[in-house]
Homo-oligomer: A and B are copies of this chain.
Amino acid sequence: MRQTSIITNPKKSSKIYDSVNATLLIKGGFINQEAAGIYTFLHYGKRVLDKIINIVREEMDKIGVEILMSALSPFDNWIKTERINNVDVLFKADAGNEPTRKRSDSAYILQPTHEEMVTPIVKEFVSSYKHLPVAFYQIQPKFRNEPRAKSGLLRGREFLMKDLYSFHKDANQFKQYYAKAREAYIKTFERFGFKYNQDFFVVYASGGTFSDDFSEEFQLRLDVGEDLVFRVPSTNVCYNREVAPSKAVDPEIESEQYEMKEVFGEGIIGVDELVNFLNIDIRKTIKTLIYIVNEEYPIAVAVRGDYEINEDEKLRKVLKATTIRLATEEEVKMHTGCTIGYAGILNLNPNIRLICDESIANLTNFETGANKENYHLINVNWGRDVEKPSEFYDVKVAKDGDLHPSTDERYEVFRASEIGNIFDLGTKFSESFDLTYVDEKGEKHYVHMGCYGIGVSRLMGVIVEKYHDDNGIKWPKSLAPYDIHIITIGDSDDVMDYSKQVYVDLRENGYDVLWDDRLDLSAGEKFADSDLIGIPIRIIISKKTLESGSIEIKNRQINDIYFIERANLIKQVREIYDNLL
């Protein structure tokens, strides 16, 4: 493509956005922002998107059949699954309020995800075990009314997703398929140029609303990533922070047990304040919190002062509770006899069940609230001052420095950004839509479903976050809008002619080439532009090239510059290209 035949440089190129990907992609003319979280993909952006989509499609075609669903669904589908009330990002589409609301006979949900569509579609076709397993996928826009659309393409209100939905006789058939889908995902991400267990990882995460099992996330290591991954070095098993099993490193066990003391500390409530006030190691403090379980009864949960309670993924599961919540000020007073902040494990009302995190099991001379207004206890010791409780669990949020409980290795902890996920949907949706099949014996069962997502447009943003420098983007070769960028400096006939010849030669050799043939820009402007756009190989052709017979080539991925003989151009370009990321 000749650069004069497309428009590439937006006027507002000096504006800085809330993320690197937004700034570089908008400035570079890849995308245009229409509203918060809503973008148009321009020439370069569309080409990158197509490259992502083509790789995803080729790999998904091996495990499923592509379909194209509508964005609009009747309300009824969302009423059946009861998600009309639970999913808070739903867009409703209708004739609108005045001045546009003229008819009310047609109101729809704009799909934020397509379980509510695909399940009734499959019901039109599936009735027997012979039809299963079957899997459909789609690559198309989704709509989520995110309260805080942000970070460019990372969290949008309208975005492109690949979602695959699979349908099975039972959990066992699902698991077999799941293993295949997992492999297909790894292959897909490898084709983007990411290395498995080095650039990207399969990470256990919460199973969400539908399953007590973990789901799996595909996470790309990224310093500005929104997730924290805990990796077990010896096994490459990874956990998202929300589900990482955690073993705390104990502080030194003191051989001498000091005298237990009550300390008056009126208004000393928070852990940091307490540590300051008592001048003790935070790891020798115990935080005791009162929770209400299933809105029925209170419990006390004790954890080391430097940890937080993992309410949803750990505490709730330990309790097998439907709901848990922190007790109100009044409830705390009722159950402990004092205001929030003085609850502790000593003198606790014996009718209140005490759940202890393992982080406090081996403490000596530790602090705890006294269950007495304004008082803390210090130098408390198990056995001597209080009987060691019977229930120790891992109910804390993991943090950097923690050990993996099974291997006792210290986790490697790093930030990462989600690029894909896999969910076990169980029979949640087949029950809502009565999607059943008849087995070999003529018995009816609900279909077991799985769901597998890749945020296609999000991925484009994540890749820019990972591969860029101060001057612009550095695309992996599989996703670059073009393979090679020819920059012509000067407008003399011989320079233009030779540029054109190189342009044609490279295209004939199978490369996608962008040729900067613009005459009204300086060399400096063209180089800056080229760095910004980030095409992996740059070839500079000028008067000097013709005189010296040597062509300047830049590998944008590593910013190395080579000078090569004109006669060897194609051969050398191929060599550089083949060694690119």
A residues near B (Cβ < 8 Å) are 5-12, 29, 32, 34-36, 38-43, 45-46, 49, 65-74, 84-85, 88, 90-97, 99-103, 106-110, 117, 121-122, 124-127, 130-131, 134, 141, 143, 145, 147, 157-158, 520
Query: Which of these, B49, B93, B97, B158, contacts A70 with CB under 8 Å?
Result: B158
B69 touches A11 (CB 8 A): no
Tell me the nearest residue of chain B to A47, going by C-beta: B66
B99 touches A92 (CB 8 A): no
- Given A67-B42, A93-B143: A520 touches B157 (CB 8 Å cut-off): no
- Distance from A529 Cβ to chain B, minimum over Cβ atoms (Å): 14
Q: Which residues of B contact A68 (CB under 8 A)?
A: 40-41, 45-46, 49
Add 10 more A-B contacts to A35-B108, A130-B520 (CB < 8 A): A34-B69, A40-B67, A40-B68, A43-B67, A49-B68, A70-B158, A90-B96, A91-B96, A92-B94, A93-B110
Query: Which of these, B6, B12, B70, B109, contacts A124 with CB under 8 Å?
Result: B12
- Distance from A366 Cβ to chain B, minimum over Cβ atoms (Å): 45
- Distance from A133 Cβ to chain B, minimum over Cβ atoms (Å): 10
Tell me the nearest residue of chain B to A108, going by C-beta: B35
What CA separation (Å) do A572 and B91 show in the bound complex? 55
Tell me the nearest residue of chain B to A77, going by C-beta: B34
What CA separation (Å) do A6 and B11 show in the bound complex? 49
Tell me the nearest residue of chain B to A130, going by C-beta: B520
What CA separation (Å) do A122 and B94 show in the bound complex? 29
- Given A68-B41, A96-B90, A125-B9: A35 touches B143 (CB 8 Å cut-off): no
What CA separation (Å) do A72 and B33 show in the bound complex? 11
What CA separation (Å) do A457 and B32 show in the bound complex? 27
What CA separation (Å) do A45 and B45 show in the bound complex? 27
Tell me the nearest residue of chain B to A124, going by C-beta: B10
What CA separation (Å) do A32 and B67 show in the bound complex? 11
Query: Which of these, B34, B88, B124, contacts A32 with CB under 8 Å?
Result: B124
- Given A7-B126, A10-B124, A92-B101: A43 touches B66 (CB 8 Å cut-off): yes
Q: Which residues of B contact A91 (CB under 8 A)?
A: 93-96
Tell me the nearest residue of chain B to A89, going by C-beta: B95
Q: Which residues of B contact A100 (CB under 8 A)?
A: 84-85, 90, 92, 109
B157 touches A11 (CB 8 A): no
What CA separation (Å) do A158 and B90 show in the bound complex? 18
Tell me the nearest residue of chain B to A10, going by C-beta: B124
What CA separation (Å) do A488 and B157 show in the bound complex? 49
15 A-B pairs in the complex with CB atoms less than 8 angstroms apart:
A5-B65, A34-B70, A35-B72, A35-B74, A38-B70, A38-B73, A40-B68, A45-B68, A49-B68, A85-B100, A90-B100, A92-B94, A92-B101, A96-B107, A110-B110
Q: Which residues of B contact A70 (CB under 8 A)?
A: 34, 38-40, 141, 158
A99 touches B125 (CB 8 A): no
- Given A39-B70, A40-B70, A131-B7: A117 touches B34 (CB 8 Å cut-off): yes
